[in-house]
Structure 1
Amino acid sequence: MTRIAIAATALGAALVASITLAVMVGSADIGAADVWGSVIAHLTGQPSPLDPLHDGIVWQLRLPRVLTAAAVGAGLALVGCVMQAVTRNQLADPYLLGLSSGASLGAVAVLLLGVGILLPVAAFGGATLALLATLGLASAFGPLTPTRTVLAGVAVSAFAAALTSFVIFWTVTGDSYREILGWLLGSLAGARWPEATIAGVAMLVIGVPLVLTGRVLDAFAFGDRAAASLGVPVTGARWALLGAGALLTGALVAVSGSIGFVGLVLPHAVRLIIGPGNRALLPLSALAGGVFLVWADTLARAAFDPRELPVGIVTALIGAPVFAALLLRRRSLA
């Protein structure tokens, strides 16, 4: 218990420090006192201690983007834990049910129509349709099971990805490739307060209840019969958990695009430190995911300034070797 308390305290402090430092990073010289002075002034309605230019950089540009990164990273890591527990599949991630491909199809459609202002709505709508298609296909021939759910998700994901590729190939011309590619690779470059609000509210309304489902997820670890014997309504709980995880993922993908490896790698990394118990794993993974994506996005926007990388490239470059190292470590411990 002491190890879990220490880890929670350390990750919570790391998240606050990471948000502060990430807002400081950039071409404009802004210190930690300036960051908190601007934040406190806006929250209390007092005059900002910064000049209008630097105050705008902190409050309008950097802070909403960093908070969006923290919320998206926390949510993806949390849903990754839930998906791995519900499906009993160590390779499950938040996009298991075809949500990323469905969101991508909706986003590409509105970008090509020139109504980018509707992008979050279209992406969430596409993710929701993909979820309904996956669950409908998985339950069409019997009760919802982990294996059937995974296979249905693969089928829906492949179909939506094929439709997205067809639409891009058939209709995209000129520089529109760049905008579409940036979204498909995952980017927080356009995150402002509306996007931060969407991600934050999604975490509050859906993410917090998911954090409290650790006992139910622990019951699923021993199989459906064991879970039922412990008083868990297996089918209803699985539908509820998959649906809540998918809705949270859809809301996050709608503001950030498809950012890979966060929901796959972070749960495994945290699990190695504190063990497999989901009551501790869920909140600690969320904190770790927030810290990770804040720094990945900071690296994406600052490493090659004035050019910026999609953050999905950074998470893949870091996540793939880290995941390989985790696999090797687990093998050595086996």
Structure 2
Amino acid sequence: MTESAIPVGRASRRLLIPRVAMGLGLLLAAVLAGVVIGETPLPPGQVANVLAHKLFGASLLVDPIDAGIIWNYRLPRTLVAAGCGTALALSGLVLQTLVRNALADPYLLGVSAGASTGAVAVTIMGLGAGAIGISAGAFMGAAMAFGLVATLARAAGGGSAQLVLAGIAGSQLFNALTSFFIAKSANAEQARGIMFWLLGNLSGVRWPDVTLALPAACMGLVACLWHARSMDAFSFGAASAASLGVSVRRVTLVLLGAVTLMTAIMVSLVGAIGFVGLVVPHAMRFIAGTRHRALIPATALAGAVFMIAADITSRMMIPGQVVPIGVVTALVGAPGFALIMIRNRGRR
């Protein structure tokens, strides 16, 4: 290490605490906004009283109806949205790094479609005869979908373009299977509920879902941070990573396993939500740079805030009606997708 590098490292460490504090402050502000804003606006003071009463047993006067809205509906919904945004954004970042394709994300590569098929197969078809939960079924579907896409891409030549095309084919296949399962086994009411859920729906989440979504997102964040240096090496290709001493097979299996698990859990809870894993990592590269030690936490934070904002928008877009959150993310993500393609074309 040269002498000139020492002050840079010390300066970076001095900036770490303020950056962490700013990030946590932004996340808390987003969570507060998710609880306060809705068809029935609630003052922040009332929200603070309810949280103090529920969390710390404070003897404060709270309205039972407001307490029910805050504690049983909006807070778990907002926390699941944050966990879902974190997981999907990190999944997109990992896939883009490992396959070195700017258009990679769980939605485009068929992982979300496979997870949806697995979840619907368990729910409607009774796969596993009750021994398999929805999350387990979604995980199996996601793993099958990614395995199929990877096999197709390798058979077609193994390039990045082939991977995206294989992902589109895999998505269409598993979406067709999902539609077939619904048409074959679901009644009209079940079909309507599942189709709304498949577009992304946070209306039904409660505290048990929070205990599943947040640990999954934190697990994925820890796995990514643990392999941040390896992901830096993967940015130059698997061969370069191996030459730098990275255990390519082990790191790939761990990170892809984390992506599959996170995607499966989130799809089983809220349905297939697209474009979060595509747009958020690219936006954060402009802000945090390409070094994954900074890019990973920035992407996780931005994914959580983006999903909370999308959830607020879905509640407020049409008065008296909740728009599927997947519609909101697509309205933002589709233009972002187009910009990414144009930007990549300009680099050729």
TM more than 0.5: yes
Q: What's the Cα RMSD here? A: 3.2
Checking the alignment, whether the CA contact within 8 Å between 1:79 and 1:94 is kept in structure 2 is yes
1:73 aligns to what? 85
Checking the alignment, whether the CA contact within 8 Å between 1:8 and 1:284 is kept in structure 2 is no
The CA deviation at 1:200 is: 0.8
1:179 aligns to what? 193
Residues 134 and 29 of structure 1: CA distance in aligned 2, closer, same or farther (over 3 Å): closer
2:325 aligns to what? 311
Tell me the amino acid that sits aligned with residue 82 of structure 1: V
1:86 aligns to what? 98
The CA deviation at 1:45 is: 2.7
Q: 2:45 aligns with which of 33, 57, 66?
A: 33
Residues 138 and 129 of structure 1: CA distance in aligned 2, closer, same or farther (over 3 Å): same
Q: 2: distance between equivalents of 1:14 and 1:333?
A: 34
2:140 aligns to what? 128
Checking the alignment, whether the CA contact within 8 Å between 2:200 and 2:324 is kept in structure 1 is yes
Q: Does 1:222 align with 2:224?
A: no
Q: 1:244 aligns with which of 236, 239, 258?
A: 258
Checking the alignment, whether the CA contact within 8 Å between 2:50 and 2:62 is kept in structure 1 is yes
Residues 146 and 324 of structure 1: CA distance in aligned 2, closer, same or farther (over 3 Å): closer
Q: 1:262 aligns with which of 261, 265, 276?
A: 276
Tell me the amino acid that sits aligned with residue 34 of structure 1: Q
Residues 264 and 251 of structure 1: CA distance in aligned 2, closer, same or farther (over 3 Å): same
Q: Does 1:275 align with 2:285?
A: no
The CA deviation at 1:275 is: 1.7
Report the 3-state secondary structure (helix = DSSP H, G, I; strand = E; otherwise coil) of the residue aligned with 1:217.
helix
The CA deviation at 1:138 is: 4.4
Q: What's the CA shift string for 1:174-203, capped at 9, x where partnerless?
A: 333321111111111111111111101112
Q: 1: distance between equivalents of 2:15 and 2:165?
A: 37
Q: Does 1:201 align with 2:201?
A: no
2:202 aligns to what? 188
Q: 2: distance between equivalents of 1:96 and 1:230?
A: 30
Tell me the amino acid that sits aligned with residue 106 of structure 2: P
Q: 2: distance between equivalents of 1:315 and 1:15?
A: 19
2:315 aligns to what? 301
Q: 1: distance between equivalents of 2:274 and 2:84?
A: 11
Checking the alignment, whether the CA contact within 8 Å between 2:103 and 2:164 is kept in structure 1 is no
Aligned-pair identity (%): 42
Residues 329 and 214 of structure 1: CA distance in aligned 2, closer, same or farther (over 3 Å): same
Checking the alignment, whether the CA contact within 8 Å between 2:115 and 2:263 is kept in structure 1 is no
Q: 2:114 aligns with which of 102, 109, 126?
A: 102
Once the two structures are overlaid, the 10-residue window that deviates more, 153-162 or 182-191, is 153-162
TM normalised by structure 1 equals 0.86
The CA deviation at 1:280 is: 1.0
Q: How many residues align?
A: 329
Checking the alignment, whether the CA contact within 8 Å between 1:130 and 1:156 is kept in structure 2 is no
Residues 114 and 309 of structure 1: CA distance in aligned 2, closer, same or farther (over 3 Å): farther
Which runs of 5 or more structure 2 residues have no equivalent in the other structure? 1-11
Q: 2: distance between equivalents of 1:225 and 1:315?
A: 35
Q: 2: distance between equivalents of 1:98 and 1:332?
A: 27
Q: What's the CA shift string for 1:283-332, capped at 9, x where partnerless?
A: 10110011111010111112213111100000001121234345556777
Residues 92 and 7 of structure 1: CA distance in aligned 2, closer, same or farther (over 3 Å): farther
Q: 1: distance between equivalents of 2:169 and 2:342?
A: 30
2:4 aligns to what? none
The CA deviation at 1:243 is: 1.1
Report the 3-state secondary structure (helix = DSSP H, G, I; strand = E; otherwise coil) of the residue aligned with 2:188.
coil
Q: 1:21 aligns with which of 17, 33, 52?
A: 33
Residues 94 and 85 of structure 1: CA distance in aligned 2, closer, same or farther (over 3 Å): same
Q: 2: distance between equivalents of 1:149 and 1:324?
A: 18
Q: 2: distance between equivalents of 1:163 and 1:17?
A: 41
Q: 2: distance between equivalents of 1:243 and 1:301?
A: 33
Q: 1:292 aligns with which of 303, 306, 320?
A: 306
Checking the alignment, whether the CA contact within 8 Å between 1:3 and 1:274 is kept in structure 2 is no
Checking the alignment, whether the CA contact within 8 Å between 2:35 and 2:47 is kept in structure 1 is yes
Which runs of 5 or more structure 1 residues have no equivalent in the other structure? none
Q: Does 1:166 align with 2:217?
A: no
